[in-house]
């Protein structure tokens, strides 16, 4: 007994942990399973593997948790990439629509410009025609006025004016005397 007690307390004094209390129920559980009718008895090899399986289960659970975290992380990245792609696609669609509306507006403005240019050319031609018509009317009015004057003047005035006109022409050709020029500035004062 003393020898057995020393071996039990030796690991405690050396800093080792006490034996796990779960080991005792595990040893008792197979005995209980062996005594229960209808259940298969637990083999000795299975008893030896139970602590290893528990450790493997914990490691497996940790690995599974890490895998799940990694999958969640990758899923979040994929969701973000998909969201960004959808956003870029929506922006591209909006930009295409905007460019199409700009193109339509530009084409309409060009059509209006061409129409205005054609109208301006047409209006310019019309203006030219109207100007020619106005010149023709003016010419006819002058002819009519001259005809009227010719018809009315001989009755009102004798042909003296007609003779005066040729007399005025030689006067215009003759040089004017200088004293007349001197008098002209005095008249201005």
Residues 6+ apart with CB under 8 A from 46: 30
* Tokens (6 digits) for 48: 């030896």
Note whether residue 44 is domain-resident.
Answer: yes
- Largest pairwise CA distance in the chain: 178
Following DSSP, what letter does each residue of 118-179 receive, concatenated?
HHHHHHHHHHHHHHHHHHHHHHHHHHHHHHHHHHHHHHHS-THHHHHHHHHHHHHHSPPPHH
Note whether residue 127 is domain-resident.
Answer: no
Q: What is the pLDDT of residues 36-80, one digit of tens each?
A: 555 555 555 455 445 555 566 688 889 999 999 999 999 999 999
Question: In angstroms, rounded to a whole number, what is the distance separating the alpha carbons of residues 131 and 136?
Answer: 9
Question: pTM for the whole thing?
Answer: 0.35
Note whether residue 59 is domain-resident.
Answer: yes
Note whether residue 154 is domain-resident.
Answer: no
109 vs 179: which has the higher pLDDT:
109
Question: What's the total number of domains in the chain?
Answer: 1
Q: What is the pLDDT of residues 126-144, one digit of tens each?
A: 999 999 999 999 999 999 9
Judged against a pLDDT cut of 80, whether residue 18 lies above it is answered with: no
Note whether residue 133 is domain-resident.
Answer: no
Note whether residue 24 is domain-resident.
Answer: no
Question: In angstroms, rounded to a whole number, what is the distance separating the alpha carbons of residues 189 and 183?
Answer: 10
Parent domain of 60: 30-113
Q: What is the pLDDT of residue 15?
A: 60
Note whether residue 151 is domain-resident.
Answer: no
Note whether residue 23 is domain-resident.
Answer: no
Average per-residue pLDDT in the chain? 73
Q: What is the pLDDT of residue 65?
A: 92
């Amino acid at each position: 007994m003393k020898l057995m007690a020393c071996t039990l307390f030796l690991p405690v004094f050396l800093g080792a942990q006490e034996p796990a209390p779960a080991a005792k129920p595990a040893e008792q559980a197979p005995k209980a399973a062996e005594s229960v009718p209808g259940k298969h008895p637990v083999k000795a090899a299975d008893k030896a593997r139970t602590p290893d399986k528990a450790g493997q289960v914990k490691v497996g659970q940790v690995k599974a948790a890490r895998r799940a975290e990694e999958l969640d992380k990758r899923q979040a990245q994929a969701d973000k990439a998909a969201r960004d792609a959808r956003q870029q696609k929506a922006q591209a669609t909006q930009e295409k629509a905007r460019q199409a509306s700009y193109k339509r507006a530009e084409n309409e403005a060009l059509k209006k410009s061409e129409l205005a240019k054609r109208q301006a050319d047409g209006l310019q031609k019309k203006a030219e025609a109207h100007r020619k018509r106005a010149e023709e009317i003016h010419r006819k009015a002058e002819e009519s006025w001259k005809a009227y004057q010719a018809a009315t003047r001989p009755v009102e005035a004798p042909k003296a004016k007609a003779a005066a006109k040729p007399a005025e022409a030689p006067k215009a050709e003759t040089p004017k005397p200088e004293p007349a020029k001197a008098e002209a500035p005095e008249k201005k004062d």
